[in-house]
Structure 1
Amino acid sequence: MQHFEVNFDGLVGPTHNYAGLSYGNVASLNNANASSNPKQAAKQGLQKMKALADLGMVQGVLAPQERPDVYALRRLGFTGSDARVLKDAFEQAPHIFLACCSASSMWTANAATVSPSADTQDGRVHFTPANLTNKYHRSLEPTVTGNILKAIFANEKYFAHHLHLPDNEHFGDEGAANHTRLCSEYGHAGLELFVYGRHAFDSSKPAPKKFPARHTFEACQAVTRLHGLSEESVVYIQQNPDVIDQGVFHNDVIAVGNQNVLFFHEQAFTNTQQTLDEIKRKFGDSPLHLIQVNTADVSVADAVKTYLFNTQIITLPSGDMAIVAPTECQENDAVASYLNRLVSQGTPIKEVKYFDVKQSMQNGGGPACLRLRVAMNDQELDAVNQSALINDAQFERLNRWVDKHYRDTLSVQDLCDPQLLIESRTALDELTQIMKLGSVYPFQQ
């Protein structure tokens, strides 16, 4: 039986925009209200997917959310035609309006937490959509995310889907952005690392003072129970409150793992040595590479600015690992110098591949934000909706779809244009046919 890790990247939606909605995300705030390039953003994402597929990786795609979210605006009391709802919301409650236009679903690392069948009690792949309660604009996502995941992973023999956790900050869940899985091989039982920012029910524990800790310990425990994971296959790790206050809003901005490699900054966690000792003990006797980047080599500020740790570490068909990094890493002297040294230090990471994903970076997310990792065996992969996988034909189909439906530029003022809503719904309706998703959006139901 063969085993794969499939990266499902989020397809950038036709209303991609910069609204600066994410307090605690430095890049997002710095680019608030700049004009965006939806067509360029979608094509950058597709090009990255195709490049990884060409390297021999199995690559998938997740559909975007519908935005503006007219249904959310109606829940908040705006009435009349869709055009009236958009106009009134834009004029009377611009911050709420922009939240309902968010492009954040492109970062599918926040879509869900996934546990492979090798780890779970019932031998199925388990999915729990993240509730993303800390940010209103992201809390709009989990229901449609769940619909999309169920349409792609539909076979109940192999896949189990859970409702997102309660919509309450006590169970704030940011999905795979705070979850890493270590293993010797993708098909072998692994060690799942759940990273949290605070304890919701114990205010005596450490917590950041400036920026919010979005993910709670209690959410980690709940997902562990839902997925049927044993305590010996799980490590709970608290993120360092000080780095959250430096703009490290998710663990994947300060640490990333793949198979038997954990790549992390020395300031990433509280009780670092105790955490590493537990990882070593539970991982067992197989080779394990814990690569710590010291502050003297790369500052937290440079790590956040370049998203050094928001890179993807992938295992190539050759068995060697590569880092997929944004070009911002290449352009920063300290980070580029570190990566040049890293690939010659005897770890499994042998090369760095740079990609231009500036449209995502400017909105606050790097390559690792753009993908949801799903480890599967060949039978499970065969049971996946094959129209959600990237090959030459599907890549061309999706590119033609983008060319047909996307605008070249978009300003914040454009978002209340009712014609844009019509264009977006027309595009998404056609996308669900291309990807054979059925009716996943509210406007289709």
Structure 2
Amino acid sequence: MKSYEVNFDGLVGPTHNYGGLSYGNVASQSNSQQSSNPKEAALQGLAKMKALMEMGFQQGVLAPQERPDVAALRRLGFSGTDAQVIERAAKEAMPLLVASCSASSMWVANAATVSPSADTADGRVHFTAANLNCKYHRSIEHPTTSRVLGAMFANQQNFAHHAALPAVAQFGDEGAANHTRFCREYGEAGVEFFVFGRSAFDNRFPAPQKYPARQTLEASQAVARLHGLRDEGVVYAQQNPNVIDQGVFHNDVIAVGNGEVLFYHEDAFLDTESMLAELQSKLAKVGGNFQSVCVPRSAVTVDDAVRSYLFNSQLLSRPDGSMLLIVPQECQANERVWAYLQSLTSSGGLIREVKVFDLKQSMQNGGGPACLRLRVALNETELAAVNPGVIMTPPLYGSLTAWVEKHYRDRLSETDLADPQLLLECRTALDELTQILKLGAVYPFQIN
């Protein structure tokens, strides 16, 4: 039976804005308060989805969240009609209104952690929504995320869904941005690789001094237990706290893996050699041949990696066994990064081709190609059980492009977030989107 890695890309929401909400994310903070272009952002994301579909890769879509999140503002004491809630929040606590309007759910690498059926004890694909409790504006996402994933992967014979972990610092969980999987074939048993920034209960692990480490070891271990993973099929690794302090807030900013290959920066991890040896040993036990591509700091600095998002790329397997790297335009603009990529692809190694995409709107807010997609390994039976409305096709691309053109603004500033009309525009757009994607009622305004 054939198996596939399906990339479900986040559709950028109508309130895409540069709120500068993510401390530790250099791009997010440096572009704070600039005007954004939600329409351009959504169309850039859709163009990437279309291109991958046309290259022969399985591609899906993950819907955005309802924003502004009026219910979240009500929980914080704002009352009255929806318009009054927004107006009062804008007057009394603008930072809370900005947080409630965040479109960060577009970065669905943080939506959940996914384990394929070949790895799990019950033979189902398992999803655990990430609690994202390190940042308030993202901590409010997981209830809707769970409903959307449930509508996409509804067949209980094939799919199992878990609620987010307890929303406390000890179980900080950032989803697939700190998780990848190595395997010979997507439908075969593999090794799941969990990267953490700190331990909540064991002070033997060093912690960063400047920026927070968002993923805990304990959260990663809990997800592995929930998914029924075998000890011999899991490797835990600690992110280098020094690179976290340089703006590497998730592992997918400094490393990316796919198939049997890990592409990583020399300074990405602690105890790198023992980690690589464990990955090689465990993957060999299930018939795999682990390989790694290390980018030396002499060629690309950590600062280069953060500014270009070289590692926040998509590493894709082609039919001939070689790898394709999908990178943002910022890699081409960085002289050292581009020189490295040219030498990499001309060397006859594992990564043979680089394709560049314009994702400027997302990049300015701190998310590149890898942030925009959630990877789900599925066999043919499981793929057939996925809600067909969310699988990208040429007609769906056309429908979504027309939908964006109809509903999205082409300029949004912080002051625009206080306009109650924006909420109505968002709800009208999302109500239509759930019909296009055949999701049913997944948003609070549709349920309450």
Aligned counterparts of 1:357 and 1:99: Cα–Cα separation in 2? 22
Q: Which residue of 2 aligns with 1:157?
A: 157
1:346 Cα deviation after fit: 3.4
The answer to whether residue 95 in structure 2 is matched with residue 95 in structure 1 is yes
Q: 2:374 aligns with which of 343, 368, 372?
A: 372
Structure 2 contact 11–106 (Cα < 8 Å) conserved: yes
Query: What secondary structure sits across from 2:131 in the alignment?
Result: coil
Q: Which residue of 2 aligns with 1:258?
A: 258
Structure 2 contact 248–306 (Cα < 8 Å) conserved: yes
More moved, 177-186 vs 338-347: 338-347
Structure 1 runs (4+) deviating above 6 angstroms are none
How many pairs align? 445
1:169 Cα deviation after fit: 1.1
Q: Which residue of 1 aligns with 2:130?
A: 130
Q: Which residue of 2 aligns with 1:279?
A: 279
Structure 1 contact 55–316 (Cα < 8 Å) conserved: no
Cα RMSD of the aligned pairs, angstroms, is 0.8
1:342 Cα deviation after fit: 1.1
Aligned counterparts of 1:385 and 1:232: Cα–Cα separation in 2? 33
Query: Structure 2 counterpart of 1:23, which letter?
Result: Y
Query: What secondary structure sits across from 1:343 in the alignment?
Result: helix
Aligned counterparts of 1:283 and 1:14: Cα–Cα separation in 2? 42
1:64 Cα deviation after fit: 0.1
Question: Which TM-score applies when normalising by structure 1?
Answer: 0.99
Structure 1 contact 289–347 (Cα < 8 Å) conserved: no
Structure 1 contact 56–317 (Cα < 8 Å) conserved: no
Aligned counterparts of 2:189 and 2:357: Cα–Cα separation in 1? 32
Write out aligned runs for 1:373-388 (5 A).
373-388=375-390
Q: Which residue of 2 aligns with 1:303?
A: 305
Query: Structure 1 counterpart of 2:358, which letter?
Result: D
Q: Which residue of 2 aligns with 1:432?
A: 434
Q: Which residue of 1 aligns with 2:399?
A: 397
Q: Deviations over 1:327-377 (max 9, x none)?
A: 100111110011111113333211000000000000000000000000000
Q: Which residue of 2 aligns with 1:77?
A: 77
1:400 Cα deviation after fit: 0.7
Q: 2:365 aligns with which of 357, 363, 366?
A: 363
Q: 2:330 aligns with which of 322, 325, 328?
A: 328
Q: Deviations over 1:384-443 (max 9, x none)?
A: 001101110000000111111111111111111111110100000000011011110000
1:103 Cα deviation after fit: 1.2
The answer to whether residue 242 in structure 2 is matched with residue 242 in structure 1 is yes
Q: Which residue of 2 aligns with 1:16?
A: 16
The answer to whether residue 420 in structure 2 is matched with residue 406 in structure 1 is no
Query: Structure 2 counterpart of 1:348, which letter?
Result: L
The answer to whether residue 216 in structure 2 is matched with residue 216 in structure 1 is yes
Unmatched 5+ stretches in structure 2? none
Unmatched 5+ stretches in structure 1? none
Query: Structure 1 counterpart of 2:359, which letter?
Result: V
1:132 Cα deviation after fit: 0.3
Structure 2 contact 120–229 (Cα < 8 Å) conserved: yes
Query: Structure 2 counterpart of 1:345, which letter?
Result: S
Query: Structure 1 counterpart of 2:115, which letter?
Result: S
Aligned counterparts of 1:344 and 1:377: Cα–Cα separation in 2? 33
Q: Deviations over 1:255-310 (max 9, x none)?
A: 00010110001110011111111111111163322111110010000000000000
Aligned counterparts of 2:349 and 2:164: Cα–Cα separation in 1? 37
Write out aligned runs for 1:288-299 (5 A).
288-299=290-301
1:87 Cα deviation after fit: 1.0
Identity of aligned residues (%): 64
1:203 Cα deviation after fit: 3.1
1:204 Cα deviation after fit: 4.0
Aligned counterparts of 1:116 and 1:204: Cα–Cα separation in 2? 32
